[in-house]
Structure 1
Amino acid sequence: MEQFPLFLNLRGRPVVLVGEGEAADAKARLIVRAGGRIVTDWEEGAAVAFVALADEGEARAAAQALRARGLLVNVVDRPDLCDFTTPAIVDRTPVTIAIGTGGASAGLAKAVRQRIEALLPARLGALASALHAARDAMKSRWPAAADRRRAIDAALASGGALDPLDGDAADKVDAWLAGAVAAQPSRLETIALASADPDDLTLRVARLLGEADHIFHPAAIPTAILDRARADAARHIADAPPAAPPPGLSLWISQP
Structure 2
Amino acid sequence: MLHNEQRLSVFPAFFRVKGRHALVVGSGTEALAKIRLLTQTLAETVAVAPDPEPQLYAYLKEIVGMGGPIRWLDAPFDIAMLENAVLAFAATGDLKQDHAVATAARQMRVPINVVDRPELCDFFTPALVNRAPVAVAIGTEGSGPVLAQFLRLRIETLLYPSIGRLARFAARFRDKVETHIVKGKNQREFWRAFFSGPVAGAIFRGDEAAAKIHVEKLLTGHQEENNTIRFLWCGHGVVDWLTLGGQRALMEADIIIYDTDVGSDILGMARRDACLFSVPSLFCTASELAEKFCRKGKQVLRLVTNEEQLATEVKILGIHDIEVEIIPYLPAAVLGRASYLSDMLGSGKAA
- Taking structure 2 as the reference length, the TM-score comes to 0.47
- Structure 1 residues 125-149: Cα deviation after superposition (integer angstroms, max 9, x where no partner): 1100110011122223313244212
Whether contact under 8 Å (2:21, 2:84) holds in the other structure is yes
Matched, 1:65 2:75: no
* Residues 133 and 38 of structure 1, relative CA distance in 2, 3 Å threshold: same
Aligned residues: 185
Aligned equivalents of 1:154, 1:54: Cα separation in 2: 50
Gaps of 5+ in 1: 183-201, 206-256
Spell out the pairing of 1:60-139 with structure 2 (5 A cutoff).
Answer: 60-139=99-178
User: Quick check: 2:166–2:200 contact (8 Å CA) kept in 1?
Assistant: no
The aligned amino acid for 1:28 is I
Alignment of 1:206-225 (within 5 A): none
Q: 1:14 aligns with which of 8, 21, 29?
A: 21
Query: What CA distance in whole angstroms lies between the structure 2 residues aligned with 1:53 and 1:138?
Result: 50
User: Could you tell me which amino acid in structure 1 is paired with residue 204 of structure 2?
Assistant: G
Query: Given the alignment of the two structures, is residue 168 of structure 1 paired with residue 209 of structure 2, yes or no?
Result: no
Amino acid at match of 2:223: V
State which structure, 1 or 2, has the greater radius of gyration over its C-alpha atoms. 2
- State the secondary structure of the residue aligned to 1:147: helix
User: Helix, strand or coil for the counterpart of 2:155?
Assistant: helix
Within 5 Å, give how 1:174-253 maps onto structure 2: 174-179=213-218, 180-181=222-223, 204=272
CA-to-partner distance for each residue in 1:179-207, whole Å, 9 max, x for gaps? 4139xxxxxxxxxxxxxxxxxxx9537xx
Partner of 1:231: none
Which protein has the bigger helix share? 2
Residue in structure 1 matching 2:93, options 54, 60, 75: 54
Write the letter of the residue equivalent to 1:204.
Answer: R
TM superposition shift of 1:9: 2.2
Deviation at 1:161, TM superposition (A): 4.0
1:136 and 1:36 map into 2 onto residues whose CA distance is 28
Equivalent residue of 1:16, what SS? strand
Q: Which moved more, 1:25-34 or 1:147-156?
A: 147-156
- The RMSD of aligned alpha carbons is 2.7
Q: Which amino acid aligns with 1:167?
A: F
Shift of 1:105: 0.9
> Which AA in structure 2 matches 1:181?
Q
Distance in 1 between the 2:138 and 2:154 partners? 11
Alignment partner, residue 45 of structure 2: 38
Deviating above 6 A after TM superposition, structure 1's stretches of 4 or more consecutive aligned residues are: none
Shift of 1:64: 1.2
TM-score, L = length of structure 1: 0.64
Give % identity: 35
Deviates more, 1:7-16 or 1:62-71: 7-16
Structure 1: which amino acid aligns with 2:10? Q
